Structures are given as structure tokens and as C-alpha cells.
Amino acid sequence: MALKQWTRRAALIAALAATTGLTALAPAPATAQTPPGVLIVGQIAEPKALDPAAVTAVNDFRILMNLYDGLVRYKDGTLEVEPALATEWQISEDGTEYTFTLREGVTFHDGSAFDAEAVKFNFDRMLNEDHPYHDTGPFPLAFFFSAVEEVTVVDPQTVKFTLNAPYAPFLSNLAYPTGLIVSPAAVEQHGADFGRNPSGTGAFTFAEWRSNEAVVVEANPDYWDGAPDLQAVVFRPITDANTRTAEMLAGGIDLMVEVPPVSLSEFQGDGYTLHEQAGPHVWFLILNAKEGPFAEKAVRQAANYAVNKTALVENVLEGTAEVAAGPTPPAFAWAYNESLEPYPYDPDKARDLLAEAGMEAPEVTFYVTEGGSGMLDPIAMGTAIQADLEAVGFDVSIETYEWNTFLGNVNPGLEGKADMAEMAWMTNDPDTLPYLALRTDAWPDAGGFNSGYYSNPEVDRLLEEARVATDQDTRAELYKEMQEIVQEDAPWVFVANWKQNAVTSDRVENFTLQPSFFLLLDDVVKN
């Protein structure tokens, strides 16, 4: 009996030890540092695919830009294009023919040659529904190249794009990830699985994708633009921002993107470098110019004066954004009108404008989103904006929606539903946002994003002209004029331009963020 009892107790203790004792065994490997030469990047999500034609998220672009090249790319630190896989190009007089001379001696990671046929394959796959590999899609951003009528192989090193009409953003669209060139041989080999077996010409070659754990890429020693210093890069998806911060603090990652504003103070010390870079992003409020109080220009201007943008940017966003002056982000330096001053915070002026318009406590329904791409801290911002507007006499009621529901409400237009909605855009060309969201022909029923029904024939004309002008200086003048008119008309409340941020550990050198928001790692060194 005694023995039996003893064995029972022993079994119980053993069970306890097995469960708690493991705790004591485990710790050793946790403190192991990441190996030198291998950069570990904390990403915000698992990528969808590594096929540049098939994805839409900045998160995926961050990996893709290191695996592939396009015909052109953005010059370091700018949003202006420079040669990449194409060494030079000619644009025909009428702006509808682009002839590219391709770089010689470049091969894809799978060994196949990069030539004009490969370029043609890429665009035909995306745009031509009869192409044998069109079914490796869908290609949601193919409309970036909807102006392309035909791609012609002139000779192995020369390729010609024929457009159905002059389209100025064509070159910067080629620099966008959707224009990155994939290996036709790899697409033919892997078919729909190409997105998990990518092959490009970039600085890094694909090594391994462990679902929900990591994408591993290794240095391409034969890279045409010089082999990278790093041996490998590991992209880890860590969706929760607090967990990402903790990983950075614990040394589990070397580089972290999208640091939440509240965590910035954790990285003030010597062990870390904080990087910031304003990008082609604008955060604004769409005002319903068709009906309700904001049909009056004076009331729209009043809202612009009433919102304390400096306080939003400094307090709510902890300095991770700058006050926006107009519809075009300053990151498009060549097209940005430097003379624009943001609407100052002037509640008295706002009250005067309201009084002049004969508005007494105008009622405003305000759509706020819970999150979403580029929306920063939409609930806190929405609440602060509500308080500012109420302080000058508006009567604001907020309706909050989850992001996709929100888009489903806002994109079809605000008419009959709301007077004001939060919105943010990140684009790659100064044409995109105003063309899609400020023209009369971009009202929702015409298939655009002008959800507030702004209409000014002069703005329409400027945007149409800028789109077909191929000379960059001419385009710049047109955009600058457009910005002045739009700022005066105030179809939106212009709020903020987001500064993308990242933190690197003190072992990482030569890292800079790009205004494109892409992550370029070919020059980075890790000690």
C-alpha cells in the first residue's frame, strides 16, 4: 500500500515536472543572436505571392524589389526614373511609342536570358487574355498598363511599346513593382505556382518560403549592378505591431518597418537607428460637395481652417507625419508646388466663414475607418477632428466602419449617406490620385474615386493635359497650377503626409528608406 501510494505521488510529481520543468530546460537558445551577413527583416504580414504582376500590397513589394528589376527604376532617394534593365529609351513625337534598349548580358536567376522576348512575354501575360499564361493571374493592377496596345520585339536587345494614347505616367508605372520583369522560363515551368517559385534578375535570389514563418533570399553574386554585401535576407511576417517591437528589442530582428508611433521612444537609445522618409502619401477628408453644408466652398474652407493639423501630426501621430498643404505629396518633388502653404489653424476665421455662409451648427455625418492601408491612426484622428470641428460650431456625428466595409460605403460616393469621410492614398505618380479622385469624369458613377463629387472644369483640363504631355517640365507646371486651384476650392481637408519609418539595430549599416516606400537592401551591410 505504501509503495503504491508512493508511486502515485511520484507519478504526480513527474507530471508536474514534465509540464513546468520544461520551462527550466528551454531558455538557452533564445538569446542566440542572428548570424552576421544575414539580415532579418520584421515585415507586417505574410506575403500573398512573390509574383510582381499578381500582388498589390506594399508589404509584398518590399520583398519583390530585391528579387526583380524593372526596365526602369526610381533614382535613389527620389521618385524620378532612371535606367535599370533598359539602358536607354526613345519616346516618339506623339508620345505613343516607347522604344527601349535593353541591358546586355543579364540573365534570370534560373539561368535563362533576359531579352526583348522576355519583356514581351511579361506584358502579354498580364494584358492579353489569350496569352497561354494569362491564367497564372489574376493581375489586379494590370490596368497600370491598360494604355499599352502592343509590345513588339524589334531585335533581341530592343523592345517597343505602342500606346493607344499618350500616357505620361507610363515610365513611372514601369518603375512600380507591377512592371518588374519575371523569368518566362520559370513561369512556364511552375505555372500558377510561380508566385511561390519566383525567378527574376534582382540583387537577391529566392531561396525558401516557409509559410507564416519566413521568406529567405540569398545574394546574387552575378548581379549586374554589383553583388550585395549581405549573404542573405530573411523576411519574417509579424503582424502585431507590439510583438514586432518586442522582437526588435529582444534582437530577434535587425530591421523593423512601420514602427507604431507609441513605440518610437523605445528606440531612442544608442543601440538603434531610427529612419524616416516622407513618401508619396496623403491623408485627407473627402468633403461631400454635392449636398449638405460642404456644397458651399466657404464651409469647406472653414473645415480646413478649423482642423488643427499640427496638433494631429505632433500629438496623435507622434511626429510620424507632416502637415499636408494640398492634394499632391511633397515627395513628388518635381511636380510639387513649393509655394503652397497649408491652411493655418484658425478657428476664428472658420467661425467667420461659417457665419458668412449663414450656417448655424451645420450637421455633419463623418465616416471613420477602424484601420486600413495608409490610414495611420484613423479612430484617434477622427475623434480629434470631430472635436476641432465642433469647437467652431459644426455638429459632427461619427460613424465607424471596418476597412473593407468602409471602402464599400465610401467608394460608391457619399451622396445621401455622409458629408465627410477619411481617406488616404499612396501612389507612384502625381497623376494617379488627382486623376482618379478629383476630375468630374471620376465621379463614382463614372467609375472613379471622386466620392465627394468635386467638379472644376479648369482642374479637369489641367489633369487631362498633364496626362498626355511627355515633357516633365510641362507636366510639372500643369500639376502646380492644379494644386493651387484645388487648395483654394478645398474639396478635401488636407491633413497629413505620412513619413514612413523603420528601425535598424546598430549592426546594420548603409540602410536608407526610399520615398517610394520600397525596401532596397542591395547596399546594406550587417556586422
Q: Which is nearer to another protein, 27 or 105 (CB)?
A: 27
Q: Please, how many CA atoms are within 13 Å of residue 452, restricted to the half-sphere of its CB? A: 30
- Say how far apart CA 301 and CA 307 lie, in whole Å: 10
CB 394 to another protein: min, Å = 27
Which residue stretch of 192-200, 286-294, 328-336, 459-467 sits at the interface with another protein (rule: CB under 8 A)? 192-200
Category of 453 on φ-ψ map: left (φ > 0), alpha (ψ -120 to 50) or beta: left
Would you count residue 164 as binding another protein (CB under 8 A)?
no
Sequence-separated (6 or more) residues with CB below 8 Å from residue 252: 34, 40, 42
CB 497 within 8 A of CB 426: no
Would you count residue 262 as binding another protein (CB under 8 A)?
no
Interacting residue with another protein among 39, 46, 175, 367 (CB under 8 A): 46
Interacting residue with another protein among 231, 315, 373, 512 (CB under 8 A): 373
Interface with another protein (CB under 8 A), residue total: 73
- Say how far apart CA 399 and CA 369 lie, in whole Å: 8
* Per-position x/- string for 436-455, each x denoting binding to another protein as judged by CB under 8 A, each - no binding: x-------x--xxx------
- Say how far apart CA 59 and CA 52 lie, in whole Å: 12
Which residue stretch of 93-101, 112-120, 190-198, 285-293 sits at the interface with another protein (rule: CB under 8 A)? 190-198
Q: Which is nearer to another protein, 427 or 497 (CB)?
A: 427
The secondary element (H helix, E strand) that includes residue 356 is: helix 347-356
CB 524 within 8 A of CB 39: yes
Q: Which is nearer to another protein, 4 or 457 (CB)?
A: 4
CB 215 to another protein: min, Å = 11
Interacting residue with another protein among 113, 185, 249, 398 (CB under 8 A): 249
SS3 percent helix, strand, coil of the chain, rounded to 5, is: 35, 20, 40
CB 92 to another protein: min, Å = 28
Q: Which is nearer to another protein, 18 or 226 (CB)?
A: 18
CB 261 within 8 A of CB 377: yes
Interacting residue with another protein among 11, 45, 262, 274 (CB under 8 A): 45
* Per-position x/- string for 453-492, each x denoting binding to another protein as judged by CB under 8 A, each - no binding: ----------------------------------------
CB 4 to another protein: min, Å = 10
- Say how far apart CA 418 and CA 363 lie, in whole Å: 10
What cell numbers appear for 253 in the block? 530582428
Interacting residue with another protein among 39, 43, 49, 466 (CB under 8 A): 49
Q: How far is CA 442 from CA 143, 411, 433, 439, in A?
A: 16, 11, 11, 5
Helix H, strand E, coil C: the string for 205-223 is EEEEEECCCEEEEEECCCC
The whole-angstrom distance between residue 250's C-alpha and the CA centroid of its chain comes to 28
Would you count residue 516 as binding another protein (CB under 8 A)?
no
Name which of residues 218 to 247 contact another protein (CB under 8 A): 234, 236-240, 242-243, 246-247
**Residues β-bridged to residue 82:** 73
Which residue stretch of 51-59, 199-207, 481-489, 510-518 sits at the interface with another protein (rule: CB under 8 A)? 51-59
Interacting residue with another protein among 402, 441, 471, 488 (CB under 8 A): 402
Which residue stretch of 7-15, 66-74, 197-205, 380-388 sits at the interface with another protein (rule: CB under 8 A)? 7-15
CB 30 to another protein: min, Å = 5
CB 160 to another protein: min, Å = 27
Which residue stretch of 68-76, 327-335, 422-430, 464-472 sits at the interface with another protein (rule: CB under 8 A)? 422-430
Would you count residue 3 as binding another protein (CB under 8 A)?
no
Sequence-separated (6 or more) residues with CB below 8 Å from residue 223: 202, 203, 522
Phi, psi of 160 (to 5 degrees): -120, 130
Interacting residue with another protein among 93, 130, 211, 226 (CB under 8 A): 211
Interacting residue with another protein among 80, 158, 196, 229 (CB under 8 A): 196
Q: Which is nearer to another protein, 214 or 312 (CB)?
A: 214
CB count in 10 Å sphere of residue 89: 20
CB 299 to another protein: min, Å = 27
Name which of residues 272 to 311 contact another protein (CB under 8 A): none
Interacting residue with another protein among 87, 164, 310, 404 (CB under 8 A): 404
CB 448 within 8 A of CB 460: no
Q: Which is nearer to another protein, 16 or 361 (CB)?
A: 16
CB 437 within 8 A of CB 494: no
Q: Which residue type sits at 449?
A: F
Interacting residue with another protein among 411, 415, 417, 523 (CB under 8 A): 411
Q: Minimal CA–CA distance to 40: which of 227, 223, 250?
A: 250
Phi, psi of 390 (to 5 degrees): -70, -30
Would you count residue 56 as binding another protein (CB under 8 A)?
yes
Q: Which is nearer to another protein, 205 or 428 (CB)?
A: 428
> Peptide bond before 138: cis, by omega within 30 degrees of 0?
yes
Interacting residue with another protein among 23, 265, 268, 339 (CB under 8 A): 23
Name which of residues 94 to 153 contact another protein (CB under 8 A): 137-138, 140-141, 143
Q: Which is nearer to another protein, 320 or 427 (CB)?
A: 427
Listing DSSP states for 382-450 in one string gives: HHHHHHHHHHTT-EEEEEEE-HHHHHHHHTT--TTT-SEEEEEEE-SSTTHHHHHHTSGGGSGGGTS--
